[in-house]
Structure 1
Amino acid sequence: MEELKFRVQEYEGPLDLILQLIQKHKLDIYDIEISALLEQYMAAIDEWRENQLDIASEFLEMASHLVYIKTVMLLPRHEEEGEDPRKELTGALLEYQACQRAAALLGEKNRGVDRFVRPPEEHEADMTYTLIHRPGELLGAYFGALGRGRRHLPPPKTAFSGIVSRRVVSVASRIAFVLSKLYRRARVNFLGLFEQSDRPEMVATFMAVLELIKDKRVRATPDGKELVMLRSGPVPETTKQEG
């Protein structure tokens, strides 16, 4: 059976571990005692190994870097030979510490909401309309607004003129008209019946011709150009057209 392994989740990285060791043992971050720090750092790694925890490579890399700093500091050197080998580590720790503080501050401000937002600022309202329109757009908007206003008004009287003032022509009156033409002449031109007639008269005349053909009083020639009288009969009285 494969043994269980646990990853280190207590620290986000080697810098996090070093900061906690410095705080725990009250070391000076600006004058780090490398021997004491390396001893505590390696003790933490040995503890993880005893508990069969998986150690990330970055922790081992930092351990080798601490050993290098301790070795350089043990070697005899003159003050003018170079900078303190701990300076780079101190700068990295201070930068990491500042990032931790900024993250904690943002976390406090963002608690309970989905995102971090700054407080609202007051701005003076500018009521100047700055959008530029083409003349055609303005004209279209004007006519559109004018049309919407007119829809709420009652329709003018002229809107009903085509319905109220239109003459009503009866079919019977047009039957008398057609028969009167045929009594004078035995046949008449079909299209001539519709000359000088408005639409109501044309419709009534056409219906009258259909009625006469149905009653077999007239017939149309094969070419459809003329009407021919088939049998005579009393001419119906012309009814008075209703205005």
Structure 2
Amino acid sequence: METITYKLEHFEGPLDLLLHLIEKNKIDIYDIPIVEITAQYLEYVRQMEREDLNVVSDFLVMAATLLDIKARMLLPKEVDEEGEEIDPRAELVQRLLEYKRYKLLAEELADREEGALTHFYKASTLPPEVARYQPPVDLDELLDGLTLAKLKRIFEQVMKRQENKMDPIRSKFGTIRREPVSLEEKIGSVLAYARRARRFSFRQLLERQADKLELVVTFLAVLELMKIGKLHLTQEETFGDMDIEALEPEGMEEEPDLGGLDGFEE
């Protein structure tokens, strides 16, 4: 028997080795002499003792497969449901044919990649306006065969897709626009009211406001007027209504000094 001296790195796996042995011995892949091929394959595996076990394991699985096929070849022939003999080598032959096909394709792609490296391509020199040019749309061709029924069906499909994109709850939300409320203007209006009423309750003042934002800014305006000495606030009991009194003399119309507001606005 001829000694096999090939190294493991020459083969990508057990199928690659089998295919090499078949081609080396000029064997018909459809009629593999399983005894001869198994002997040569096992001889190669014996020389792999020092190789990585993770790599060798794949070759050992194939060795077991070859021995199984060899044993089945010695047994009486099996037949299928149609009465035809079952060749124990059929599955292995199919795997080898598929591997050979993919190997040839890989080699062809590698050749094309190598050949592409020797080609040079000229960059486009078309002016941008020419590259962007699009021929005018032929409406007769575009609308050919379009009927009102088809147009209605297309419209309904588009509307249905649009409805599916909409959130059934959020789509009903309105837009709330926030109206700016100037603290400076509110101070002026509260002071004008205090000059007219002279003495009033905090509740009366709040009842004149339109919304929560107005209430908050009104409260800030009262605090600011108390700080600059324009209003005086008293409360007889906890959580009771607060009485507000104007501290300015009657007939006072001088604008208050609001320089400390720093342009505050809500």
TM range (shorter): 0.3 to 0.5
Structure index of larger Rg: 1
- TM normalised by structure 1 equals 0.42
Higher relative contact order, chain-length normalized (CA < 8 Å, sep 6+)? 1
- TM normalised by structure 2 equals 0.39
